[in-house]
Chains A and B, each alone.
Chain A
Amino acid sequence: MRPSPTVFLVDDHALFRSGLRSELAGRVTIVGEAADVDGAVSGVLAADPDVVLLDVHLPGATGDPRPGAGGRAVAETLREAGSRARLLALSASDAPEDVIGVIRAGARGYVTKTISADELVAAIRRVADGDAVFSPKLAGYVLDAFAAIPVDAVDPDLARLTAREREILQLVARGYTYREIAERLVISPRTVESHVSAVLRKLQLDNRHQLSRWAAERNL
């Protein structure tokens, strides 16, 4: 059995952090926690965890009062600092632009706070292995975002999903696990994984302008 991944918790609600701690106890190794942007950045850089569970709606982002700016700031600062920790965004928020924003800043997945402990542990392990974790909700947001990008986009390869990627995202949004998707499409779970990772890469590389326009059109 693999050693349990080391995890750092970032959430401004102490109650939620302690809840997470007790739920995850014994299944992953929690190496630290923080309640704001600065604490998260210094804590993660010091503890060097495998995975950071990052609250999207984190206060303490300097000069940017938008909700979702805090999580994004942590992700961006850690990336610039060259941290090897992989980020899993976790939020009660349903606002698409916050979620997409944190993903684009470098998070490798997004799950909602209503996720069960078992699913959360599975998601942490998957992110620790370098894979992408698309919850049904995130899959829906991503499909929406790509659908809104005009056909004459600057870089069509980056701006569009392949038919296969779209099909897989739809199945994720419909509540299928990667294993179930693999069975259904008669491909290996690894292939499903690599399609999902490709979508994540497109999201993170795509021309910033296009996705901001998507956000603007939705009045976000």
Chain B
Amino acid sequence: MMRTTARRREESVASSGLSAASAAIRTALRRVVVGYRLVGALWLALLVAIAVARGDLDLLPAVALVGVVAAWSAVTWAAGTALRAPAWLGADLLVSLGTILLPLAEAGDPSVHGGYPFSSVLIAAWARGLPGALTAAVLLSAAAIARAVAGGLAVLPETVGSVLVYSFGAAVAVWGIGVIVRADAEQRRLAAALADERAERLRSQERAETAAALHDSVLQTLALLQRRADDPAAVVTLARSEERALRAWLAGAGSPQGSGGSPGPRTGPVGSFSAAVTAAAAEVEGRFGVRVDVVTVGEADLDDDLAALVAAAREAMANAAEHAGVAEVACYAEVADGRASVFVRDRGCGFDPTAVPADRRGLAESIVGRVERRGGTAAIRTSPGEGTEVELALPR
């Protein structure tokens, strides 16, 4: 498919010239062509000034001619790509023919148009390719010859020079533009092919990585399932943690490494708050064999404070998993309205907070203390038989 695209591109280069060029090349060529037009206008003004100084030309027609040429040059500069329209090209050619033909000076005097008319050949070559350049060259040559017929032998060398410049100039301009456009198209084709190839290589690399990672994970799990077939609780836990890992992988959140390590603040917290909460829940699931349903709302980058909040939440989940005597724990984490909160809830046996012995430091130290040291709050709602909800919040 790529090859046909390339061939089609080549064909269009051959047939319509400029239209195959990229926008950047088209703009650059237009600047060069119209830039030469400005040089030509300057050239003409210089020759007119010399003619006036010599007394060959009156001041009034001189000023009029320079004014018209300067104004038209400015217009063509400003016209931009509109210049490619036939009407514009025709008008442009008329101005150039005028600079050659208008009987401003005595017949036989040196001409004052200089290099200006040739700029019409360049513009026509840029806009219409070979036919345009040839048309302009033929018309301008005819005008130069007509002038020679009127002016006699004195202007003959100049006329021959003009005709040669117009015709060869047209050919050279068309050829040059063609070379540039083809080189540009070829370069873009190569760049596109390279990009295609690179994308394909990345894709296949990614496929290979995915396959390898999934194979590792799935085969390992299947092996474990076979060995633990007599222990339904373990199998459920395994399936659950693999499901979680696979989901995380599919969501692009990481590698399917099962219920991986804890996001310990010792190595410096990295990643997102919601991912850390999810990982903590997965860890608790793996450790205690209960299901932890996590819902997260909002998102924040993990910092030391949030890592402490997650660590406290992990303790709360572990507590619920260990003591509540239920198969499910719900964890809701939210970042909104200038605070981060985590709610850990179970429908288990509950307890009497006033009856917790003072030497049981789990609740006070690793949950409440952890959050309060960071300027947050911890609340525990529970009573025997009613389940427990731990609410942790940190201002942000």
Whether A associates with B in a native complex is: yes
List A residues at the B interface (Cβ < 8 Å): 94-95, 114, 136-137, 139-140, 143-144, 147, 170, 173-176
Interface secondary structure of A, over-half rule: helix
Q: Could you tell me if A170 and B251 are in contact, using CB atoms closer than 8 angstroms? A: no
Known contacts A94-B251, A136-B293; is-contact A174 B298 (Cβ 8 Å): no
28 A-B contacts (beta carbon < 8 Å): A94-B247, A94-B251, A95-B251, A136-B293, A136-B295, A136-B332, A137-B293, A137-B295, A139-B295, A140-B296, A140-B297, A143-B297, A143-B334, A144-B297, A144-B298, A147-B297, A147-B336, A170-B334, A173-B295, A174-B295, A174-B330, A174-B345, A174-B389, A175-B293, A175-B330, A175-B332, A175-B343, A175-B345
Q: Could you tell me if A174 and B332 are in contact, using CB atoms closer than 8 angstroms? A: yes
Residue of A nearest to B293 (CB): A136
Chain A residues positioned under 8 Å from B334 (CB to CB) = 143, 170, 173
Chain A residues positioned under 8 Å from B343 (CB to CB) = 174-175
Chain A residues positioned under 8 Å from B330 (CB to CB) = 136, 174-175
Interface secondary structure of B, over-half rule: strand
Q: Provide the bound-state CA to CA distance between A137 and B297, in Å.
A: 10
Q: Provide the bound-state CA to CA distance between A127 and B295, in Å.
A: 22
Q: Provide the bound-state CA to CA distance between A90 and B164, in Å.
A: 82
Q: Provide the bound-state CA to CA distance between A114 and B330, in Å.
A: 14
How many contacts A-B (CB < 8 Å)? 41
Q: Could you tell me if B332 and A147 are in contact, using CB atoms closer than 8 angstroms? A: no
Known contacts A94-B251, A175-B293, A175-B345; is-contact A170 B332 (Cβ 8 Å): yes
Shortest CB–CB separation between residue B204 and chain A, in angstroms? 21
Shortest CB–CB separation between residue B88 and chain A, in angstroms? 43
Name the interface residues of B238-293: CB closer than 8 Å to any CB of A: 247, 251, 291, 293
Residue of A nearest to B336 (CB): A147
Q: Provide the bound-state CA to CA distance between A136 and B292, in Å.
A: 12
Q: Could you tell me if A147 and B298 are in contact, using CB atoms closer than 8 angstroms? A: yes
A94, A95, A137, A175, most chain B CB atoms within 10 A: A175
A144, A147, A174, most chain B CB atoms within 10 A: A174
Shortest CB–CB separation between residue A208 and chain B, in angstroms? 22
Q: Provide the bound-state CA to CA distance between A147 and B332, in Å.
A: 16
Shortest CB–CB separation between residue A120 and chain B, in angstroms? 15
Chain B residues positioned under 8 Å from A173 (CB to CB) = 295, 297, 332, 334
B332, B336, B343, most chain A CB atoms within 10 A: B332
Q: Provide the bound-state CA to CA distance between A94 and B252, in Å.
A: 13
Chain B residues positioned under 8 Å from A139 (CB to CB) = 295
Inter-chain pairs besides A144-B298, A174-B343, A175-B343, 18 sampled, C-beta below 8 Å: A94-B251, A136-B293, A136-B330, A136-B332, A137-B293, A139-B295, A140-B295, A143-B297, A143-B334, A143-B336, A147-B297, A147-B298, A173-B332, A173-B334, A174-B345, A174-B389, A175-B332, A176-B345
Shortest CB–CB separation between residue A215 and chain B, in angstroms? 14
Name the interface residues of B321-349: CB closer than 8 Å to any CB of A: 330, 332, 334, 336, 343, 345
Shortest CB–CB separation between residue A178 and chain B, in angstroms? 15
Q: Mark B287-315, 1 if CB is under 8 A from A, else 0.
A: 00001010111100000000000000000
Residue of A nearest to B346 (CB): A175
Shortest CB–CB separation between residue B168 and chain A, in angstroms? 58
A95, A114, A173, most chain B CB atoms within 10 A: A173
